[in-house]
């Protein structure tokens, strides 16, 4: 949904879009962190790390990040890896906790849930769990507490202001039937509700939509799945929309209920190579979710590249990665659509000495004049010049404030914001550049007196145009390219 950008509305926008911001006197708020890019206004799609139980927790974070997701539910028994190869998440020391928090921040992922946890313990042990959750910023604990423990659970929920969501494993577990969950939470604090595991309902022969309807108003989170069979305990996960769950109808039911919360992606199949299938699930989810209560986020290019202009020999889009191929005169790739004010979020990876760029507001593409009628945000392996080669530079206009590129071969995260006359560039969590193009009033000259290549004053160029990715004769990789238009 497009938004009018006024001084006050812009402040609100950056908060809602998931940005940190720092207000400076007399200017618009300046973004200081990458946005979240969920397609539905009320929903957060993340991953339950049990999906990656064959990998370490730190490896799981990389896989979640590769999917372009911003939320996480942790399996408490997940081994951390790195310096702590045998340490479960729930048993971290303070040094490990700091490392986990840093890793999550680097990946732009927020830890929201933890489960399934054991609350069939003494109050002292349960309190340790709540203390841990509070320290890690967890908002919901998933558990299957026995009836005699519910008073203790409610007391802790009210004290810590942390949710408890009752999870359903398949029958004959305690909560396989949603009626049992409803009985357990009746009259309880509203922070005690359900974690509706769609797949386990199906394994138990429970229609997931009917279960959700029974639980309406008390669903805190979901373990989201689609299975190849209904009513079969051995059924396995499949790409969403291809199984027996009728995922589209499930999502529409949750939207009808005005569900606000977390979908924890739990994919318990093809354990060692599930990411390609999960990526297809995310694409399906985003398509349906954005048709219900759209935030405005959408892919810059569709998976078939049907909305792109490009040399088909030069670019391929496979497994979520847009790659330039090493061919002579490959050519850049362009959007067919024209964009004016927008947020563009993407990741890039370059080889040694690799070079590319993100073109914005491009006009007259295909003519000799187009390079003088657009702006380039530099993509590079390293800094080799203040105005030209430095990654994070606004090419030939303004160098970055700092070099914040990752080592060669690692993925880097860009957010590029065009808001009327203002351009902001965030790289790997830092604001590395910003410019007010109204200050560029002379052809061939930057405001500080240095020369540039442009034949026209940049302040007078058209502030809408195509977006392009540069082919510069070397391989380049892009992924998770998403855009949100602004007024």
Per-residue pLDDT of 180-230, as tens digits, reads 999 999 999 999 999 999 999 999 999 999 999 999 999 999 999 999 999
User: Domain range holding 473?
Assistant: 300-486
For the segment 104-149, what is each residue's pLDDT rounded down to a tens digit?
999 999 999 999 999 999 999 999 999 999 999 999 999 999 999 9
Does residue 326 share a domain with residue 201? no
| Predicted pLDDT of residue 21 | 40
Q: Are residues 452 and 378 in the same domain?
A: yes
Q: How many CB atoms lie within 10 A of CB 392?
A: 27
123 and 109 in a common domain: yes
315 and 184 co-located in one domain: no
| Residue where one domain finishes, among candidates 294, 325, 349 | 294
Confidence of residue 7 (pLDDT cuts 50, 70, 90): very low
Same domain, 283 and 307: no
Between residues 473 and 176, the one the model is more confident about: 176
On whether both 433 and 455 belong to a single domain, the answer is yes
Count of residues in the chain: 487
Global pTM reads 0.92
Distances from the Cα of 430 to the Cα of 349, 359, 407, 433, angstroms: 17, 20, 16, 9
Distance CA 300, CA 333 (A): 11
HSE toward the beta carbon, residue 375, CA cutoff 13 A: 31
- 355 within 8 A of 472, measured Cβ to Cβ: yes
Q: Are residues 278 and 351 in the same domain?
A: no
DSSP bridge pairs for 412: 348
Are 269 and 333 in the same domain?
A: no
* 461 located within any domain: yes
Look at residue 237 and give its three-state secondary structure.
Answer: strand
Question: What is the CATH classification number for the domain harbouring 319?
Answer: 2.60.120.560
In a domain, 144, yes or no: yes
* 3-state SS, residue 298: strand
Q: Are residues 230 and 309 in the same domain?
A: no
Which pLDDT tens digit goes with each residue over 257-307? Answer: 999 999 999 999 999 999 999 999 999 999 999 999 999 999 999 999 999
Residue 466 lies in a domain: yes
pLDDT band at 375 (very low <50, low <70, confident <90, very high): very high
CA–CA dist 56, 64 (Å, integer): 12
Q: Residue 305, class by beta-carbon neighbours within 10 Å (0-12 exposed, 13-18 middle, 19+ buried)?
A: middle
Question: String of b and e for 306-330 (b: at least 16 CB within 10 Å)?
Answer: eebebeeebbebeebbbbbeeeeeb
* 172 cis-preceded (ω within 30 degrees of 0): yes
């Amino acid at each position: 949904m497009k938004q009018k950008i006024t001084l006050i509305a812009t402040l609100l926008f950056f908060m809602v879009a998931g940005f940190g911001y720092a207000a400076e006197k007399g200017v618009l708020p300046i973004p200081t962190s990458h946005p979240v890019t969920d397609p539905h206004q009320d929903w957060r799609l993340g991953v339950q790390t049990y999906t990656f139980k064959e990998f370490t927790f730190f490896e799981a974070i990389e896989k979640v990040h590769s999917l372009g997701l911003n939320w996480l539910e942790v399996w408490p028994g997940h081994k951390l890896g790195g310096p702590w190869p045998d340490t479960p998440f729930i048993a971290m020391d303070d040094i490990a906790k700091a490392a986990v928090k840093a890793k999550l921040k680097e990946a732009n992922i927020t830890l929201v849930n933890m489960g399934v946890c054991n609350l069939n313990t003494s109050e002292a042990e349960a309190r340790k769990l709540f203390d841990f959750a509070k320290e890690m910023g967890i908002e919901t604990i998933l558990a299957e507490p026995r009836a005699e423990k519910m008073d203790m659970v409610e007391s802790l929920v009210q004290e810590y202001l942390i949710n408890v969501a009752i999870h359903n494993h398949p029958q004959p577990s305690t909560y396989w039937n949603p009626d049992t969950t409803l009985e357990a939470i009746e009259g309880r604090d509203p922070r005690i509700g359900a974690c509706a595991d769609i797949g386990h309902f199906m394994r138990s022969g429970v229609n997931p939509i009917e279960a959700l309807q029974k639980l309406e108003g008390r669903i805190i989170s979901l373990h989201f799945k689609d299975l190849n069979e209904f009513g079969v305990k051995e059924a396995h996960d499949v790409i969403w929309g291809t199984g027996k769950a009728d995922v589209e109808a499930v999502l529409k039911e949750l939207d009808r209920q005005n569900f606000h919360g977390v979908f924890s992606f739990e994919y318990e199949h093809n354990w060692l190579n599930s990411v390609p299938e999960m990526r297809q699930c995310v694409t399906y989810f985003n398509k349906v979710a954005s048709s219900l209560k759209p935030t405005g986020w959408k892919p810059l290019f569709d998976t078939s590249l049907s909305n792109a202009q490009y040399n088909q020999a030069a670019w391929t889009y496979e497994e979520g990665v847009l790659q330039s191929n090493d061919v002579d005169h490959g050519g850049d790739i362009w959007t067919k659509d024209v964009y004016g004010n927008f947020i563009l979020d993407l990741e890039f990876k370059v080889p040694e000495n690799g070079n590319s760029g993100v073109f914005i507001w491009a006009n007259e593409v295909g003519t000799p004049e187009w390079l003088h009628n657009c702006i380039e945000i530099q993509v590079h392996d390293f800094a080799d010049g203040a105005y030209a080669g430095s990654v994070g530079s606004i090419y030939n206009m303004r160098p970055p404030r700092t070099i914040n590129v990752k080592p060669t071969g690692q993925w880097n995260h860009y957010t590029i914001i065009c808001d009327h006359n203002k351009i902001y560039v965030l790289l790997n969590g830092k604001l590395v550049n910003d410019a007010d193009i109204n200050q560029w009033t002379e052809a061939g000259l930057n405001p500080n007196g240095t020369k540039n290549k442009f034949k026209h004053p940049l302040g007078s160029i058209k502030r809408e145009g195509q977006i392009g990715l540069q082919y510069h004769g070397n391989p380049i990789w892009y992924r998770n390219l998403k855009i949100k238009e602004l007024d």
